Chains A and B, each alone.
Chain A
Amino acid sequence: MSRPQGIRTDKLSLWYTKFQALVDVSLEIDHGRVTGLIGPSGCGKTTLLRSFNRINERIEGVRIEGHVHILGDDIYAPEVDLVELRKRVGMVFQRPNPLPLSVRENVLFGLRVHVPRGELRRDELNHAVESSLKEVGLWDALKDKLGQRATSLSLEQQQKLCIARLLPLRPEILLMDEPCSALDPSATQRVEELIRELRDRYTIVIVTHNMAQARRISDECVFMLLGQVIEHRRTEDLFLSPKDERTANYVEGRFG
């Protein structure tokens, strides 16, 4: 059974001024699956993730060659609208980063920036808040605290809120950059559960340092080293019978 293509990169290379962080990365990521990006620190996995919504370009001195296609569209084509791209491709960061606004306004932020003011009806907004918070399991805890500042929530709630605020825009792809690294083990477990629940509806690409986590939640895994993709296979296969010796050494914990 062939799945539709979510993300395809073609000889993607990226430089931070002089330093080459990605080297000829060619990769195909299926739509509707969870793909884990693993590898030691500095291997380029976060850089790769951040080139899928072009947020890398915030940094001065970034130069990119090659192509990235998302659901068939070349996102580095000159006519691409970054605003539209980021509506389709949502991102969750390593440290929860809710905006210093109320819980409700955090969830609605995407709608507010993408939809002209006149077209937002109050009941639609209310519905968006409720359904997004329900989807991430925060509704019961926060339904009476929608006016509270989001930055005062617990880290777990903040990170779930950061996922919830992507949902009103109906993104097709969710990028997650070590979304649990700031959370304690039980919070991690609950966020992982949430990711599992979301997997059917979105293409999820998740960067993780934690190999056990990669095994638990990803369908496929990409192992990277020094800016290159070494191996990309089904998670089980990658961990149980890696083809490349470097992959084997990494997943067995001989370096990392």
Chain B
Amino acid sequence: MSREEVEGAGANPGAELGTGLGPRLGRSPARQRLHRAKELLIETVIRVCGVSAVIFVFGIFYFVFREAAPLLFGGLDLGELLTSGEWYPDSDNPRYGAFALIAGTLAVTLLAMLIAVPLGLGAAIFVSEFSRGRTREILKIVIELLAAIPSVVWGFIGLVIMNPLIIDLFDTPVGLNVLNGAILLALMSVPIIVSIGEDALKAVPDTYREAAEAMGATRWQVTWRVLLPAARNGLLAAVLLGVGRAVGETMAVLMATGHSVNVPDSPLDSVRTITATIASELGETAQGSDHYRVLFVLGSLLFLITFLVNLTADLVIRGFKRR
């Protein structure tokens, strides 16, 4: 039976069955077409929003790589770039050895993680397992606030507060160094580690906690023996995303690490990271010059590192869900 027939007969099948659906089934064909068109439009818009992320990521990678490619495949000694510490891009005889920049990045990131991982995981455990009610809510808000502080403000804190503090405490001539940058990066990574780590702990079924507590385990024993092993992958992902944040951070490390190209021997040495180099030098190069292009090579390298870190984190989370 077609719709026209139903309408023509003035029948109301819903009323007969007592479902109350009658009037809706009888909507006119014109309105129905309009309704479908609207639905389609909304669906398309949403689809574009979703796909745009993919376009942006590939687009960015394409443009960065496009600027880097002529040098990368035309004369750049990749071995020298990765192993030589001689970064003299402005010299008459320019040398592009980025080893010191890579070492600076790694040193700052590594030290930042040494600080951020225990602090972040500890805070995640506290928020998720040891705090309740108001304390927990307030803590979560404050930690999220920490994530909202702009990196230039962190850099400012590094310059104005940490710098003299480090000079006093360690009796060094400069307080703008690996340690300074690492502490800032650690504080910037902590909110990520806390919120993702907390999610991972929250995802552990409560029945595990109950079972362990019913056997007389204390809250710390429950955490150590049951929750941490159960949430291991989620916590690892939290740490990796924190690393991703630290590797890519620019402004704070630019301001706080002393801006000197140098392979560090100790946390109190000044360094310069890849990101800080790109940010400070790119504006002063001639577009299309070798110096310009080598900065894009460094950008690609950075992109590759953060991409790999994030990919690993993602795979780890996936493995976590599958189990």
Contact = CB atoms under 8 A, between A and B. Distances in A.
Interface of A: 53, 55, 58, 60, 82-87, 90-91, 93, 95, 97-101, 109-110, 112-114, 162, 165-166, 169
Given A93-B214, A101-B229, A113-B215, 10 more contacts: A60-B133, A83-B217, A90-B215, A93-B210, A93-B211, A101-B226, A110-B215, A113-B212, A113-B218, A169-B216
A97 B207 contact: yes
A71 B168 CA distance: 63
Contacts of B216: 82-87, 110, 113-114, 169
Interface residues of B, number: 19
Interface in B176-231: 207-218, 221, 225-226, 229-230
Contacts of A60: 132-133
B213 A58 contact: yes
Contacts of A165: 215
A99 B226 contact: yes
B218 A95 contact: no
A109 B208 CA distance: 12
A61 to B, nearest CB: 10
Interface of B: 132-133, 207-218, 221, 225-226, 229-230
Contact of B210 (A90, A97, A166): A97
B225 A109 contact: yes
A86 B213 contact: yes
Contacts of A90: 214-215
Nearest to B207: A97
B218 A100 contact: no
A140 B216 CA distance: 28
Contacts of B209: 58
A62 B132 CA distance: 14
A175 B221 CA distance: 22
Nearest to A109: B215
Nearest to B133: A60
A84 B215 CA distance: 9
Max chain B C-beta neighbours (<10 A), residue from A91, A109, A113: A113
Contacts of B132: 60
B229 A100 contact: yes
Contacts of A84: 216
Contacts of B211: 93, 97-99, 162
Nearest to A50: B214
B208 A100 contact: yes
A69 B230 CA distance: 36
Contacts of A98: 211
B214 A113 contact: no
Contacts of A112: 225
Contacts of A53: 214
A102 B52 CA distance: 45
Max chain A C-beta neighbours (<10 A), residue from B207, B211, B225: B211
B225 A95 contact: no
Nearest to A87: B216
Contacts of B225: 99, 101, 109, 112-113
A57 to B, nearest CB: 10
B215 A100 contact: no
Given A93-B207, A97-B208, A55 B230 contact: no
B207 A95 contact: yes
Contact of A100 (B213, B214, B226): B226
B137 to A, nearest CB: 13
A166 B217 CA distance: 12
A95 B211 CA distance: 11
17 contacts: A60-B132, A83-B217, A84-B216, A85-B216, A86-B213, A86-B215, A87-B215, A87-B216, A90-B215, A93-B207, A93-B210, A93-B214, A101-B229, A109-B212, A109-B215, A110-B215, A113-B218
